Amino acid sequence: MAEYIQLVGVPKSIPNEVVIPIPSNVPPIVRRIVYGKLQSALKRNTRVVYQDMNETKIALDLAIQMEKATSLLLGRVGMNPEAVVPFIRQYFTTLESMGEMTKAACKKAGIDYKEPKGLAIARKINTEGQAPADDTESVETESAEKSQPAETESKVKEKQTKAAG
């Protein structure tokens, strides 16, 4: 038999089935959103995150969008992930910066900072033969450079001659 979920605290034993009532006075769209969130909680890779600050909400929204975009791009390029590498490198650099900022904030607040395991693993991979993430330029810069025609060797020599003369 299913038990009603407790709003506060954790029961001594976790039941196999739980009933979560959604009040009938809640608008249908909100009921649908709540139901969707509850379904998502059953997925293996789901985390529940409490967000009190607007900045946390923004960071989570950006992370979710990057997850979707990167997954789609990797799916489209198939066996050639090189098209996505600039985005992933720039994203990793941003995550490293966020980690450093979080570490400093934790120190100032007097709480322990535990570096995310995935960040440490990615840093180790980058230091063992792959290009470091902080060497990459922004994605916009790379695409802008590719769109400009390359100068021929003769034009470069011509410019050098004019500058010297």
pLDDT digits (tens, 9 = 90+) for 118-161: 888 878 777 764 544 444 444 443 444 433 334 444 554 555 55
Cα 27–31–34 angle (5° rounding)? 140
Residue 6 and residue 20: Cα distance in Å, rounded? 9
Question: Residue 84: how many CB atoms within 10 A of its CB?
Answer: 19
**Mean pLDDT lowest for which of 3-12, 27-36, 52-61, 139-148?**
139-148
Residue 74 and residue 67: Cα distance in Å, rounded? 11
**pLDDT tens digits for 39-87?**
888 888 888 888 899 999 999 999 999 888 888 887 776 656 777 788 8
- 3-class DSSP assignment, residue 13: coil
The model carries a pTM of 0.56
Residue 140 and residue 145: Cα distance in Å, rounded? 9
Packing angle of the helix pair 117-127, 85-109 (nearest 10 deg): 130
Place of tokens 């840093």: 123
Question: What element of type H or E holds 98?
Answer: helix 85-109
Domain ranges of the chain: 1-48, 53-147
Output the CA torsion 39→41→44→49 (10° steps): 150
Residue 69 structure tokens: 């975009």
Question: Residue 115: how many CB atoms within 10 A of its CB?
Answer: 12
